[in-house]
A and B are shown apart, each in its own frame.
Chain A
Amino acid sequence: MTQHATTDAGRLYGYAASGLAALIFVAFAAMAPGVVGGQPVLADWPWAPSLNISLAFMLDGLSLIFGLLISGIGALIFLYATGYMGDHPRFGRFVLFLFAFMISMLGLVTARDLITLFLFWELTSITSYLLIGFDHDNPRARRNALQAMLITAGGGLALLAGFILMGAAAGGYDLARILAGQGLQGHPLYGPILVLVLLGAFTKSAQFPFHLWLPNAMAAPTPVSAFLHSATMVKAGVYLLARLHPALGGTPAWTVTLIAAGAVTAVLASVLAMRQSDLKQALAYTTLMALGMITMLLAGSHPYALTAAVTFLIVHSLYKASLFMVVGAIDHATGTREVAQLGGLGRAMPVTAVAAFLACASMAGLPPMIGWIGKELIYAGAATMAGAPLVIAAAVAANALVFAVAGVVTLRPFLGAPLRTPHPAHEAPWQMLAGPIILAACGLVAGLLAQPLLGAAIGSTLTGSLMQDRAAGLHLWAGFNAALVLSLLTFTIGVMLYVMRDRFAALVDPVLRRLPSFDNGWDRLLDAFRDLAAWQTRMLQTGRLTSYMLAVFAVTALALGATILHGRPVIAPELPRSAFLWLTVGFTAAGAVLALNTHSRIAAIAGIGTVGIGVAVIFIFAGAPDVATTQLMVETLSAVMFAIAALRLPGLVERRSRQRQLAHGAVAGAVGLCVTVMVLSVTASPLDRTITQYFEENSYALAHGLNIVNVVLVDFRAFDTFGELIVVLLASFGAYAVLKRKRGAGA
């Protein structure tokens, strides 16, 4: 009964989250006409005005496209997840994590303040850590989650540094002002800013050589992969590149870096995608290819290249989310994702098959899908870029390989002879069909009606967000041109690659095996860090109180000694004449000598107590009865506590070598000498009585008290006293916990 109740509640969470995401989508859509018309929506709340930081948001063309994709795909993903894993005992938690991620992502793409953007940037890293490691009983999932977080959050730290430099260079963190300004390309800090921002963007978007975390992130449940690792999280990096393009783009450094990273990532990833036997892994690598392609296009500064980047971003989000959901449905129905084990699923899963074919057609860039337009634009854009031949070659290679992957992903599993799978194949429930089929259909509709549907949004992104004078049009038929020829070339190579995929494998596998494994390198790096930490801990944390005390006192002696040698204070000791004071000093010194030389712990405690009481008496002479009383009580109580412990310990036996004793004695003597000189030099110079005078004048007038010490404690400095109370209580409770635990462990 309970099981059913929780399951139903979990499903409710899923539907509720889906509905909320759909509402957000509708809200974005309602704001779309104004935004597209050139009126960005702005919102602003003060956060830390003294630091010039505010929670500021802005919805312009670029943000709008991302907002619609995130919330729209999000709504379908929540629905899908409800069908996919709605009976999972922790489904409620899953929905919470995924929703938190979606909100972080929306915050990221609408942030107008750099620090706000960074905040949401890191939130996406943290929430995706929770999602990748959702299956936390699995050590592999935990390891991959940690890897993703360390890489993306590490890049995030670089990004923060870059943002702070940008804020310093531009005179504020307001993105709108930075983008509307002159651009930072000529600023002296441009170099460091570019390096740091690119580090952030490349780690997030898994560009070579930070690509390794993305395929590993497939340890996450499939709805997460479909959402985070195809359509959203990894797009944050390219979003940032696009967002900052007007302020940072167009320089040779920008162009060369983005083309190099993008091209290497795109080609390497599509080769690796061909060689995956797991459908989900194959898709993960094509995601890398898409990210590389967009990065490469963002290197350009021509409207064609940038239009291609934005369009391809939409294309990829639609087909990739759809395909991931299809693979999840196959996995769900048959129990496997291995290409070799799948075949002829089309008959058992007709709706899934339709979604898969539509989405793959878009991925392969076949007309009349939006993918075809995207590919045409890529070629048109690549031709306008610096180093065009190289860019075009990389684009053709990557597209042809992805064309072949599209064949592998759909033709084999859905057509041909049915194979025996771990479970007999059956159609997925409606919740799992809605997402893939709607998104795949979007790819078709967007292709047929590209200009009327997307033209305005892409146009305002280009002219508004990216500061171009125009956008390229989206047309299924753009006439006989170079792009068309390149498309035909792509299809030819793609078909050849698909047909000869075994020979291709024989060709590339030996090369791939020679490549160093970045993943193993990562593990070695982490191991090295752990070894370093262990070594350092062994060095610093010996576990022996003596060595800690020695370190503390040696450093104290060094610091004081250096200060004294540097300052060379003038000391004029004024010896007291009171015989009673001399007697007290004598007793105090005798107590110290006793504590040092006795073999009885009780005698040592009595010696230390004598020192403490001697100090209290001296306080009384100095006219500080409050301090003296406190000192006396503290001394009494600590003697009691020492005694309780000491009665259970054996007698004091000297185990230190002679040299060690001398060394300890030298440190102790040095501390004593330095403190003495310090105190004498302080008393030799006239005291600044400003504060004392203030308290003397105001203690009664403002705080109705004659005892200044107490008035300071409970009124003027009550907040400090309160802090001390917390310390006293925490120390006591900490000791309580340690003592109780020790007894528990002993028993």
Chain B
Amino acid sequence: MNSLILSIGARFLTALFLLFSLFVLLRGHNSPGGGFIGGLIGAAGFVLYSFAAGVGAARSALRVDPRAIGVWGMALAVVAGLASALAALDPFTGLWLIVADLALSTVLVFDIGVYLAVFGAILTLVFTLEETL
């Protein structure tokens, strides 16, 4: 698409989308948001970028094949789910480590896995559609 406004704007918008998606991902446990929504927002950012600059540019900006991102997200979710085995708990039981005010947990790792899997799956689909159709 040959729109000067779009191609200049997309760079900033994509960055903004990504930043916002991370924000949504991290705040998700206590406020509206989470990995699923975050992944969708992040993917939307790259979709916008691919419209403005082309799929090739979007792919190289992403650096990693979106399929690999999806699979890694899934792997992360599995690891987070099975980590509870270390504490002899049932699979997908959350483990919590609260350092001062900062709450770290396998639940967050799982949510990051969800983020990456959704992000990778959507981008795989959209990029392939753009390339093949």
Contact = CB atoms under 8 A, between A and B. Distances in A.
B121 interface: yes
Nearest to B133: A648
Interface in B50-78: 67, 70-71, 73-74, 77-78
A23 B74 CA distance: 47
B66 to A, nearest CB: 9
Nearest to B129: A644
Interface in B84-133: 91-92, 94, 96, 98, 103, 105, 107, 110-111, 113-114, 117-118, 120-122, 124-126, 128-130, 132-133
A731 B121 contact: yes
B37 A633 contact: yes
A633 B126 CA distance: 14
B31 A722 contact: no
Interface of A: 625-626, 629-630, 633-634, 636-637, 640-641, 644-645, 648, 703-707, 709-711, 713-715, 718-719, 721-722, 725-726, 728-729, 731-733, 735-736, 739-740, 742-743
A358 B51 CA distance: 85
Contact of B126 (A644, A703, A705, A715): A644
23 contacts: A625-B32, A626-B34, A630-B36, A633-B40, A633-B41, A640-B126, A645-B129, A703-B107, A704-B96, A704-B105, A710-B29, A710-B111, A713-B34, A713-B35, A714-B110, A715-B94, A725-B114, A728-B117, A728-B118, A729-B74, A736-B124, A736-B128, A739-B129
A710 B110 contact: no
Most chain B CB neighbours (cut-off 10 Å) among A633, A645, A739: A633
Interface of B: 24, 28-37, 40-41, 43-44, 47, 67, 70-71, 73-74, 77-78, 81, 91-92, 94, 96, 98, 103, 105, 107, 110-111, 113-114, 117-118, 120-122, 124-126, 128-130, 132-133
A729 to B, nearest CB: 5
A713 B47 contact: no
Nearest to A713: B34
A709 B29 CA distance: 9
A715 B130 CA distance: 36
Given A731-B125, A732-B124, 18 more contacts: A626-B34, A704-B29, A704-B96, A705-B107, A706-B30, A707-B28, A707-B30, A714-B29, A714-B110, A715-B94, A715-B107, A718-B81, A718-B94, A719-B92, A729-B70, A733-B121, A739-B132, A742-B132
A706 to B, nearest CB: 4
A675 to B, nearest CB: 25
A735 B125 contact: yes
Contacts of A725: 73-74, 77, 113-114, 117-118
B132 to A, nearest CB: 4
A729 B121 contact: yes
Nearest to A648: B133
Contact of B35 (A648, A714, A739, A740): A714
A740 B30 CA distance: 41
Contacts of A711: 29
Contacts, number: 139
Majority SS at the chain A contact face: helix
A185 to B, nearest CB: 48
Nearest to B32: A625
Contact of B92 (A648, A706, A722): A722
Contact of B29 (A625, A644, A706): A706
B133 to A, nearest CB: 5
Contacts of B107: 703, 705, 714-715, 718
A629 B32 contact: yes
Contacts of B29: 704-707, 710-711, 714
Contact of A644 (B81, B92, B130): B130
A711 B107 CA distance: 9
Contacts of B105: 704
A732 to B, nearest CB: 4
A721 B110 CA distance: 10
A735 B128 contact: yes
B71 A729 contact: yes
Closest 5 CB pairs of A and B: A633-B40, A732-B121, A625-B32, A706-B30, A718-B92
A715 B110 CA distance: 9
A740 B67 CA distance: 14
Given A718-B110, A736-B125, A630 B40 contact: yes
Given A704-B96, A740-B132, A641 B125 contact: yes
A719 B81 contact: yes
B32 A705 contact: no
Contacts of A645: 129, 133
Contacts of A641: 125-126, 129
Given A704-B29, A704-B103, A706-B30, A713 B133 contact: no
B32 to A, nearest CB: 4
Contacts of B125: 641, 731-732, 735-736
Contacts of A710: 28-29, 33-34, 111
A537 to B, nearest CB: 28
A648 B132 CA distance: 11
Contacts of B113: 725
B28 A726 contact: no
Contacts of B128: 735-736, 739-740
A725 B28 CA distance: 18
Given A637-B126, A648-B133, A728-B121, A707 B37 contact: no
B100 to A, nearest CB: 14
Contacts of B32: 625-626, 629, 707, 709
Contacts of B73: 725
Contacts of A625: 32
B68 to A, nearest CB: 12
B69 to A, nearest CB: 10
Contacts of B130: 644
A636 B126 CA distance: 12
Contact of B70 (A703, A732, A735): A732
Contacts of B47: 637, 640
B44 A636 contact: yes
Nearest to A743: B132
Contacts of A633: 37, 40-41, 44
A640 B47 CA distance: 8
Contacts of B40: 630, 633-634, 637
Contacts of B114: 713-714, 721, 725
A626 B44 contact: no
Contacts of A722: 77-78, 81, 92
Contacts of A719: 81, 91-92
